[in-house]
Structure 1
Amino acid sequence: MDKIPGQKRAVQYLYPPIDPFDQRTLDVGDGHTVYVEQCGNPQGMPVIVLHGGPGGGCSPAMRRYFDPDVYRVVLFDQRGCGRSRPHASVKNNTTWDLVADIERIRETLGIEKTCVFGGSWGATLALVYAISHPDRVSHLILRGVFLMTQAELDWFYGGGAGQFWPEPWARFAHLVPENERHDLISAYEKRLFSGDLRTETRFAQAWSAWENALASVYSNGHGGEAPGEYARAFARLENHYFVNKGFLSEDGWILKNIEKIHGIPGVIVQGRYDMICPPQRAWELAQAWPDADLRMVRNAGHALSEPGISAELVRAMDDISRREGLHTSGLR
């Protein structure tokens, strides 16, 4: 993504950089190991952070949304991406495998109940996890809501967002023959899993560039080219999950099961001009979930790094710790 003044300003809202006090790889079975780290206060209020994608991996900046004196922050790279292995693998890699991995991490670290913090796909996974294990979740903090519905996939890969961003859409869509453009997810699947590394990398970078170009409200339509290894994991995993409709049993599964998280307090932070995950879904989620506090951020898009998004997420975590009587440092 382009370097822009707004991205730099977002840093002022974050807590100072910190290093993990614990780093490990956890064998979760099925031939997979996942990278897990902990930072902040070892005796603090637990929060498990779920990155986006699928396939995005964690970054050091994600540690900085939490008061390190208050929170015990757990980050991990989901199957197939980041420092988890095997890299870019979609075998034994489903939503339900990831839910099981979260449970394994929670049990391994001796956590009884946890906040769950996730954005975009991370918000999807947080909701699926909470619906599956509501007794293990104390709070949900969601950003850039994605409910894994066909309507959302049609919006982003069927030309809806492309009407606002015709230049990057053309670069993305025109890479495949015209007779395949009616189903770009399937068209890219053929190339991302072709078995030829150069072809897979080329189409992975195009897939990633389309998403990156629209992530920020400050974008000029050029998201930059992601490194080949990162792009290949990101694109293959996203495509795999989207081809399989998130491995959910029916379209709209999350909202149809939302009553299972009634009673769990939540905050939804949503960019008003999010082109990747439009605000309609966040609003629908808030309407169906009485315990949710929807915070619509004006002049903001999808990216975690947007100033308004970062400020509101830090504020949300500080609000939770203040209500729990744990807050120490104040808003960055």
Structure 2
Amino acid sequence: MAQTPVTGYAHDDAWDTNWLKVDDTHELYYEQYGKKDGKPAIYLHGGPGGHITKGNTSFFNPAEYRVVLLDQRGCGKSRPNASTVDNTTWHLVADLEALREHLKIPKWHVVFGGSWGSTLALAYAQTHPNSVGSLVLRGIFAVRDLELKWTMEPGGASMLYPDHFDEFVNFLPEEERADHVASYHKRLMSDDESISHPAATAWNKWEISISTLYPNTAGLTQLDDPTYLLAHARTEAHYFNNKAWLEEGQLLRKENIDKMRHIPGTIVQGRYDVVCPPISAWELYKAWPESKLHWISDAGHAATEPGTKKKLIETTDEYASLSI
């Protein structure tokens, strides 16, 4: 049974593409679409280690929004690709503020983030609450131990996708399987592409294979994208190995939610999300009852699944009318 795709809004090509140099190592690539004097919205991609595409604009009405897409440090067209030097959650938070100031945007009307993008959006809103007009979050990820173990260790997602998990682990030689996450991390950090690239393919294939309720063969084409392959896997391993430089449960703590409690927020969560288990969306909503939570009953993790995409578009349409 196939689901009918939701196309969303069509945008003209970007009216601005450029790089912002943020330190001696990193130059961040960004694009701008939509209405030049519209309500500014920033789209935060997932991963960590993902990248932007023009399709990310489809959530935003071009008659209302000025849409900013950003490739985070080491990702996509940002330079250098796949670099983990000075690449932490808090560097990315500072980058969002630097980009806002560079673009002379007084406040983001919408900060839109899914999966890792939801993590970054929460960290940014809790650090710079006066820069955030509203939050649209999908597939909540708080980088807690239970979430990392659910995806990467036996006993979580592996119980739903045992065949794919075995393929993920068995890519490694038998002597490296006792701590497969550490073994992957070592391989992904290698400067030898004959070691890092096959490991990146296996790592990314596991995540893509469990990202949608219905099989996602189209998503596997990303494995052929050189700007995605190593950057995504290496950056994820780097962040997961360091718990994203967050204390356990930090983003859900009352004292941190209090900093952003006044910000209008909507959470959209696929009921069958295997990458970011729905318990995190529920616990965020319980900590932040001022927000709205929408369960999508026929969706997994991906933002492009029809029910999820439809609700996200409805939310940005609703937020376009907010006075922020």
1: CA distance, partners of 2:17 / 2:207: 30
- The residue correspondences of 1:179-194 to structure 2 (distance < 5 A) are 180-194=176-190
Q: Counterpart of 1:291 in structure 2: which amino acid?
A: E
Give 1:133's match in structure 2, choosing from 121, 128, 131.
128
1:289 counterpart = 2:288: yes
Shift in Å, 1:194:
2.3
Out of 75, 83, 107, the position equivalent to 2:69 is 75
Q: Is 1:44 matched with 2:38?
A: yes
Report if the CA contact (8 A) 1:18-1:63 is conserved.
no
Aligned residues: 318
CA distance in 2, matches of 1:81, 1:240: 13
Equivalent of 1:59 in 53, 56, 59: 53
Once the two structures are TM-superposed, the CA of residue 174 in structure 1 deviates from its matched residue by 1.2
The answer as to whether partners of 2:129 and 2:260 remain within 8 angstroms in 1 is: yes
For the residues of structure 1 that align with 2:10 and 2:213, how far apart are their CA atoms?
25
Whole-angstrom distance in 2 between the partners of 1:221 and 1:252: 34
Aligned in 2, Cα 1:220/1:236: closer, same or farther, shift over 3 Å? Answer: closer
Residue of 213, 216, 227 corresponding to 1:217: 213
1:221 & 1:158 partners in 2: Cα distance? 24
AA in 1 matched with 2:235: L
Deviation at 1:178, TM superposition (A): 4.2
Moved more, 178-187 or 252-261: 178-187
Give yes or no for the alignment of 1:146 onto 2:145: no
2:5 equivalent among 2, 9, 19: 9
Contact 1:168 1:222 in 2 (8 A): no
2:158 to 145, 162, 171: 162
Q: Retained in 1: the 8 A contact 2:11–2:34?
A: no
Whether the 8 Å CA contact 1:150–1:251 is kept in 2: the answer is: yes
Corresponding residue SS for 1:69: coil
**2:41 partner SS:** strand
Pair 1:30 & 2:24 matched? yes
SS of the residue corresponding to residue 144 of structure 1 reads: strand
| Equivalence for 2:84 | 90
Which residue of structure 1 lines up, in the alignment, with residue 202 of structure 2? 206
1:99 to 79, 93, 100: 93
* Native 8 Å contact 1:185 1:242 kept in 2: no
TM-score normalised to structure 1 length? 0.92
Letter of the structure 2 residue corresponding to residue 224 of structure 1: L
Q: Offset at 1:30?
A: 3.2
Distance 1:165 1:221, change over 3 A: farther
1:245 aligns with 2:229: no
Query: Residue 175 in 1 paired to residue 174 in 2?
Result: no
Distance in 1 separating the partners of 2:58 and 2:210: 24
Shift of 1:183: 3.1
After the TM superposition, which of the residue ranges 183-192 and 62-71 deviates more from structure 2?
183-192
Unaligned runs of 5+ in 1: 326-332
Shift of 1:18: 2.4
The alignment's TM-score, normalised by the length of structure 2, stands at 0.94
1:254 to 251, 256, 260: 251
Assess if the C-alpha contact under 8 Å between 1:205 and 1:228 holds in 2: no
| C-alpha displacement of 1:19 | 1.3
Inter-CA distance 268–305: structure 2 relative to 1 (3 Å threshold): same
Tell me the percent identity: 46
Deviations 1:267-323 (A, max 9, x none): 001000000001110000001012210001001000111001110000000111134
Superposition deviation, residue 221 in structure 1: 8.6
